[in-house]
A and B are shown apart, each in its own frame.
Chain A
C-alpha cells in the first residue's frame, strides 16, 4: 500500500502543495541548499518562506532558546518557550512542509567555524541581530567562500515606512536588505521584520532560479 500523509498518498500531497509555485521552479528549489545563520525574527520567517515553496535542504544554526520576548515577531509558539530555537523551528517547518531536509546546529557562529558550517551551502543567509556578528560573517564568508552568494539584512526596527526597506547588491555575491539605519533599540515587531525577511527570502529564491539581480 502506498504510504500516506494525512490520509492522502504522498505524491498527491507533494504535487498538490506545489500547484501554485511559479512554473518550472520546483525542481531547482528542491535541489537547493540554503544555510541560515540565526533562527530569530529574520531566520524563522525566512526559513518558513523557503520551506513552504519547497527549498529542498535547509540548515538552521542558532545557539539560543525561545523566550517570551521573541513571540511578537519570531515564528515560535507559546508552547515552545524554553526550547532550542532551531529544534522548535524545525518542528514547525516539518508541519508546514514534510518534504524538506532540515539540519540543525545549536552553536554560536564565529570566524573559525564559518569554514565548516557553511561548506555545503549553495547560498548563505545571514539572519543575526548583532551587527558585530553580521560583520564577522561577511568577513569570514569573504575569506572562505568568496564565490558563494551571501544574503544579509541590516535595519528593520521600529515602525518606519515599509518602503524604506530595499535589497541592494553591494558586490557580485553580496546582497543586503533593510533600511540600513534603524536599530533594534527602537523595538522590533513582526510586520517590519517580516518585510526584511521577505526581501532576503525572495533574493534567495531569485538566486536559486537564476535571477541574480535585485
Chain B
C-alpha cells in the first residue's frame, strides 16, 4: 500500500503522480510532492509512476501572505 502523508492509501496500479493528484481533485499547481524523501520535480509528475511501496508526502500551500 502506498503511504500518503502517513496514511496507507489505495492507489491505482501504474498511476503517475500527475494522475494521482488530479484524481484527488486537489489543485496540482499548489502541491509539491516528496517521494521516498526526495522532491519530485514538477516537470516529472506525468512521467513518474507510483510504486506500491512508495512513501509520498504532499506538501500543499494555501494563499495569503504577500
A interface residues, Cβ below 8 angstroms from B? 38-43, 62, 64, 111, 127-132, 134-136, 138-139, 142-143, 146, 152-157, 170-171, 174, 176, 180-186, 188, 193, 196
Asked whether B29 lies within 8 Å of A153 as measured between CB atoms, the reply is no
Contacts known (A41-B66, A43-B66, A139-B41); A131 close to B59, Cβ less than 8 A:
no
Asked whether B59 lies within 8 Å of A132 as measured between CB atoms, the reply is no
Asked whether B65 lies within 8 Å of A38 as measured between CB atoms, the reply is yes
A-B contacts, 29 of them at CB < 8 A, read A38-B66, A40-B65, A41-B64, A43-B66, A62-B66, A129-B64, A129-B66, A130-B63, A131-B29, A131-B62, A132-B61, A134-B30, A135-B29, A135-B31, A135-B32, A136-B42, A138-B32, A143-B39, A156-B65, A170-B57, A170-B59, A171-B37, A171-B39, A180-B62, A181-B62, A182-B64, A184-B65, A188-B64, A193-B64
B interface residues, Cβ below 8 angstroms from A? 27, 29-32, 34, 37, 39, 41-42, 57, 59-66
A156 surroundings in chain B (CB, below 8 A): 64-65
Closest to A74 in B: B66
Asked whether A41 lies within 8 Å of B39 as measured between CB atoms, the reply is no
Asked whether A184 lies within 8 Å of B64 as measured between CB atoms, the reply is yes
A39 surroundings in chain B (CB, below 8 A): 66
Closest to A41 in B: B65
B31 surroundings in chain A (CB, below 8 A): 135
A183 surroundings in chain B (CB, below 8 A): 62-64
Closest to B28 in A: A135
B61 surroundings in chain A (CB, below 8 A): 131-132, 134-135, 152, 154
Q: B63's contact among A136, A138, A184, A193, by CB below 8 Å, is which?
A: A184
A127 surroundings in chain B (CB, below 8 A): 65-66
Please give 20 more A-B residue pairs, beta carbons under 8 A apart, in addition to A64-B66, A196-B65: A38-B65, A41-B65, A128-B66, A130-B63, A131-B62, A135-B42, A135-B59, A142-B32, A142-B39, A152-B61, A155-B64, A156-B64, A170-B34, A171-B34, A174-B59, A180-B62, A182-B64, A183-B63, A184-B64, A186-B64
* A64 CA / B34 CA spacing, docked (Å): 31
B18 to chain A, nearest CB (A): 14
B34 surroundings in chain A (CB, below 8 A): 170-171
Contacts known (A131-B27, A138-B39, A143-B41); A182 close to B62, Cβ less than 8 A:
yes
